[in-house]
């Protein structure tokens, strides 16, 4: 196996509630799936903050579960 080092970050979509990642990795943010492609996968993509994976998008927020 060959190993290498890069100064470039690796980008991925991640859920802001549970922290799961989409599994898509890219060395440049422009190579990630688009927000529309992520929505087609069931993700809730927010304008600024609050992206949710498909599992969390189907679960009500914790504050709404309390009576």
**Exposed e or buried b for every residue in 32-57, given b needs 16+ CB within 10 A?**
bbeeeebeeeebbbeeeeebbbeebe
Dist. CA 52–CA 25, nearest whole Å: 17
pTM of the model: 0.74
Per-residue confidence (pLDDT) for residue 8, from 0 to 100: 74
Question: Is there a domain that residue 64 lies in?
Answer: yes
At 40, the pLDDT band (50, 70, 90 cuts) reads very high
Q: Which domain holds residue 39?
A: 8-67
Question: Is there a domain that residue 28 lies in?
Answer: yes
Question: Is there a domain that residue 1 lies in?
Answer: no
Please state, for a pLDDT cut of 70, what percent of the chain lies above it. Answer: 81
Per the listing, tokens 């060959």 go with 2
Per-residue confidence (pLDDT) for residue 2, from 0 to 100: 59
**2-29: pLDDT as tens digits:** 566 667 788 999 999 999 999 898 988 8
Per-residue confidence (pLDDT) for residue 14, from 0 to 100: 93
Question: Is there a domain that residue 2 lies in?
Answer: no
Question: Is there a domain that residue 18 lies in?
Answer: yes
Question: Is there a domain that residue 41 lies in?
Answer: yes
């Amino acid at each position: 196996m060959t190993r290498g080092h890069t100064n470039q970050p690796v980008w991925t979509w991640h859920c802001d509630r549970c922290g799961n990642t989409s599994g898509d990795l890219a060395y440049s943010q422009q190579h990630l799936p688009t927000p529309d492609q992520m929505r087609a996968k069931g993700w809730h993509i927010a304008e600024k903050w609050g992206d949710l994976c498909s599992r969390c998008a189907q679960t009500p927020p914790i504050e709404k579960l309390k009576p």
